[in-house]
Structure 1
Amino acid sequence: MRPTLLTLLSLAALVAVPAQAKTCTPTWVAGWASAQFLPTGDAAIAPGTIADHTLRQLIRPSIAGERLRVRLSNSAGTKPLHIAGASIARALEPASAAVDPATLIGLRFDGRPEVVIPAGADYLSDPVTLPVGALETVAVSIRYAQEPEITSHPGSRATSWLLAGDHLTDGAMTGAAPLEKWVHLSGLEVERCAPARLIVALGDSITDGKGSTTNGNDRWTDRLAERLQADPKRHAIAIVNQGIGGNRLLDDGLGSNALARLDCDVLGQPGVTHLILLEGINDLGTLTRDAPVSEEAHREHVARIIGAYRQIIARAHARGIKVIGATVMPFVGNGYYHADARNEADRQAVNAWIRTPGHFDAMVDFDRVTRDPAHPDRLLPAYDVGDALHPSPLGYKAMGDAIPLTLFD
């Protein structure tokens, strides 16, 4: 009995379905992130500021996607954090509370509009369908009923908006007060139809973007994201910024030391394949900020910094992550650290180790890019924001432009 045409077509369809399904294996990748910690001193938020308010926070994912989920953090909390509600939408512009009301979506957590996040934990929202483009501004709004314990990222260089009452579905949020912090918001994850590829930038205030333009998205990591998106071969590579102002390799400051936060801020990021490490300038500067130390103390300090690099490399390699070391930039002339020739010798010793082949998988020479050729222990004046430590927006652009994109192939 000869098969009919209809039978043949039906068999072909059955064969085609599994093949088509294999073309898309959905994976989650971090499209945006901020290192969350307990803010202290000037970085703290005054008690009573957030109770019975809605906080709208603006972020910029580094890659495009159709489906998103939000990561909220209670990592610095000592008791459960109650989130009374949350929503997400496309923002109309980077420096305004207004969003496109047609895109407003209420977030759910295990199907519910509220969530209680255990102390010390992060919590993912349920996925939502909201197509967003790479480098497009997204607004995440959080509703607080009571005053929370604060976990935040003070160095946002982006304006959030705070308004009394429930404004989760308010497109305009007219009258909202600015707040330049990210609070309880540690990530935005994007679902991709391809293997995830993610660069995590781990660093201090130079990675965090001190000296960059508020709402200008002109940190060195922003420039790298723009270059990746402009490259047809690499626009599927995401990058997240996990810099914290004042961060160190060896001791806590604002936020835990880099070794202590490696698991959460780097290894725990979905899809991570590459790490760019720019840490050490605060370790070098704090050694003698209050008083001179012995030659032996200088040598031991450099050895401990290099030991921390080795630890980060080993732990990242255990997860299959390529580690790119960035040289420590000049800081002679900075009034806070008042570095002298001995501090400069420490920096040169650290950078010599970073540059030595076989230590890191690759190296980016930010020192060479940003130093003044006439005074190599100082930043180039055009790249100095004015404190002999932090780059200007032009300096950040030079840093972002200096990274070979082939490192991520």
Structure 2
Amino acid sequence: MHRLVPLILPIALTVTTPAGAKICTPAWVAGWASAQFRPAGDAQLPVGTLTDRTLRQIVRPSIAGDRLRVRFSNLAGTKPLRIAGASIARARGPAAASVDPGTLISLRFDGAPEVVIPAGADYLSDPVSLPAKALDTIAISIRYGGEPEQTSHPGSRATSWHLPGDHLTDATMAGAASFDHWFNLAALEVERCAPAKLIVALGDSITDGKGSTTNGNDRWTDVLAQRLQADPKHRDVAIVNQGIGGNRLLDDGLGPNALARLDRDVLAQPGVSHMILLEGINDLGMLTRDAPVSEDAHRAHVARIIGAYRQIIARARAKGVKVIGATIMPFVGNDYYHADAQNEADRQAVNGWIRTPGNFEAVIDFDRVTRDPAHPDRLLPAYDDGDALHPSPTGYKAMGEAIPLSLFD
């Protein structure tokens, strides 16, 4: 944090830097992020829900910093988005709208209290001096001017609150309505003097945390963040979760396909040094969800999935990012995909490629961690949230604890 402090010094006094002193070169790193897209179906709010309202959303940075700035998003908008005001504060906790009033700061945009964000664009707030500890709970409030088009991250697993009118400096937001989504909130970036690394987890609902506890911060990425901060050697490593429920490598689903969002959601994140890639289970399942396909179609589909991995690896390596592959977990028994022996053979073929040395810089074997030894095509019952596809909080804990921290040295 830098402040200008007036000093009254004798004219003859010379200020020198002590020999060997280190000069701070501040740098920004993403401390928290969410993949934004156009919501659909039940994830879309009824028209008028956010009109001329204040929306307070809770996030948790994974690394400490001296100053903060917020990246707001109008990614799915077809017209400019007017934000009539915004504020930031320390929240009282992850499951309440109240904040510490002594920390409330109004956000500015190029010095102004409001901003108009062009269609399809993101916009950074001006930095504010609000030192944050790793795993702090931070509240970001938005005042909408009019009816916003919806750009969202539906699978927040975090509660947001809204009230009519201007409540940017309201410490309690008493009587606020709530829902469990994030809107127009792409990232919280932190500035720090100490060097930092950033892991971006790119994935689907298993990364997004379906089956985890609302406001519990117990996704596998949360478990990893806690482990990193508990280890003095790795407190300089941040992690952000860019999972989208239903996401695929090859086709759009709930949100754009992984190849289409790679640049924005991963490579554009400030400080990114590592990526963990856990994608492909929805591609494998959707192939035969509606009808069987030929053996040739199965082989071609596996080849396309591997081709998508190659593209992601090549593009990330070109930016100096270390790409860590995660094996696809079992899903036989899931009623939505009703996988058979051929789907399982496809999964084994893809995992075989992931495990082959030289394809990824490193491998996290989530398949080995979560499968049932007696039925290796199925999740271990203790780790199954009940649909034979998504882990329970116990399963996410096992996943997060299985990742060697040495991967990020």
Is the aligned partner of 1:16 residue 2:54?
no
1:105 aligns with 105
Is the aligned partner of 1:393 residue 2:382?
no
Q: Which moved more, 1:191-200 or 1:102-111?
A: 191-200
Deviation per residue, 1:19-44 (Å, 9 max, x gap): 64x43110000000000000011111
Deviation per residue, 1:14-68 (Å, 9 max, x gap): 3538x64x43110000000000000011111111100011000000000111200
1:4 aligns with none
2:50 aligns with 50
1:318 aligns with 318
Equivalent residues in 2 for 1:221-370, closer than 5 Å? 221-370=221-370
Q: Which amino acid aligns with 1:14?
A: T
1:379 aligns with 379
Deviation per residue, 1:42-98 (Å, 9 max, x gap): 111111100011000000000111200000000111110000000000000110000
Aligned counterparts of 2:228 and 2:160: Cα–Cα separation in 1: 27
How much has 1:328 moved relative to structure 2? 0.1
Instruction: Tell whether the 8 Å contact from 2:69 to 2:124 is kept in structure 1 after alignment.
Output: yes
The 3 A distance-change label for structure 1 pair 124 and 297 is same
How much has 1:196 moved relative to structure 2? 2.9
- Residue 130 of structure 2 aligns to a residue whose secondary structure is strand
Aligned counterparts of 2:325 and 2:23: Cα–Cα separation in 1: 35
- Residue 378 of structure 1 aligns to a residue whose secondary structure is strand
- Residue 129 of structure 1 aligns to a residue whose secondary structure is coil
Instruction: Tell whether the 8 Å contact from 2:195 to 2:236 is kept in structure 1 after alignment.
Output: no
1:163 aligns with 163
Instruction: Tell whether the 8 Å contact from 1:196 to 1:272 is kept in structure 2 after alignment.
Output: no
Aligned counterparts of 2:23 and 2:240: Cα–Cα separation in 1: 27
Aligned counterparts of 1:78 and 1:202: Cα–Cα separation in 2: 26
Aligned counterparts of 1:393 and 1:61: Cα–Cα separation in 2: 20
1:201 aligns with 201
1:6 aligns with none
Structure-2-length-normalised TM-score: 0.96
Aligned counterparts of 2:13 and 2:407: Cα–Cα separation in 1: 47
Aligned counterparts of 2:119 and 2:126: Cα–Cα separation in 1: 20
- Residue 49 of structure 1 aligns to a residue whose secondary structure is coil
Instruction: Tell whether the 8 Å contact from 2:163 to 2:176 is kept in structure 1 after alignment.
Output: yes
Aligned counterparts of 2:181 and 2:255: Cα–Cα separation in 1: 15
How much has 1:210 moved relative to structure 2? 0.1
Deviation per residue, 1:315-353 (Å, 9 max, x gap): 000000000000000000000000000000000000000
Structure-1-length-normalised TM-score: 0.96
2:7 aligns with none
1:126 aligns with 126
Q: Name structure 1 gaps, 5 residues minimum.
A: 1-8
Aligned counterparts of 2:62 and 2:78: Cα–Cα separation in 1: 32
Instruction: Tell whether the 8 Å contact from 2:331 to 2:378 is kept in structure 1 after alignment.
Output: yes
How much has 1:178 moved relative to structure 2? 1.1
- Residue 360 of structure 1 aligns to a residue whose secondary structure is coil
Deviation per residue, 1:144-169 (Å, 9 max, x gap): 12001110000000000011110000
Aligned counterparts of 2:190 and 2:355: Cα–Cα separation in 1: 35
Q: Which amino acid aligns with 1:75?
A: L
2:178 aligns with 178
- Residue 263 of structure 2 aligns to a residue whose secondary structure is helix
Aligned counterparts of 1:74 and 1:145: Cα–Cα separation in 2: 14
Q: Name structure 2 gaps, 5 residues minimum.
A: 1-11
- Residue 385 of structure 1 aligns to a residue whose secondary structure is coil
Aligned counterparts of 1:271 and 1:64: Cα–Cα separation in 2: 14
- Residue 66 of structure 2 aligns to a residue whose secondary structure is strand
Q: Which amino acid aligns with 1:384?
A: D
Aligned counterparts of 2:38 and 2:132: Cα–Cα separation in 1: 31
Aligned counterparts of 2:315 and 2:341: Cα–Cα separation in 1: 33
2:82 aligns with 82
Aligned counterparts of 2:64 and 2:196: Cα–Cα separation in 1: 12
- Length, aligned pairs only: 399
- Residue 71 of structure 1 aligns to a residue whose secondary structure is strand
Deviation per residue, 1:348-372 (Å, 9 max, x gap): 0000000000000000000000000
- Residue 79 of structure 1 aligns to a residue whose secondary structure is coil
How much has 1:205 moved relative to structure 2? 0.1
- Residue 324 of structure 1 aligns to a residue whose secondary structure is strand
Aligned counterparts of 2:145 and 2:253: Cα–Cα separation in 1: 31
Aligned counterparts of 1:176 and 1:10: Cα–Cα separation in 2: 58
Aligned counterparts of 2:46 and 2:131: Cα–Cα separation in 1: 36
Q: After TM superposition, what 4+ stretches of structure 1 lie above 4 angstroms from structure 2? A: none
How much has 1:272 moved relative to structure 2? 0.1
How much has 1:10 moved relative to structure 2? 5.8
1:65 aligns with 65
- Residue 240 of structure 1 aligns to a residue whose secondary structure is strand
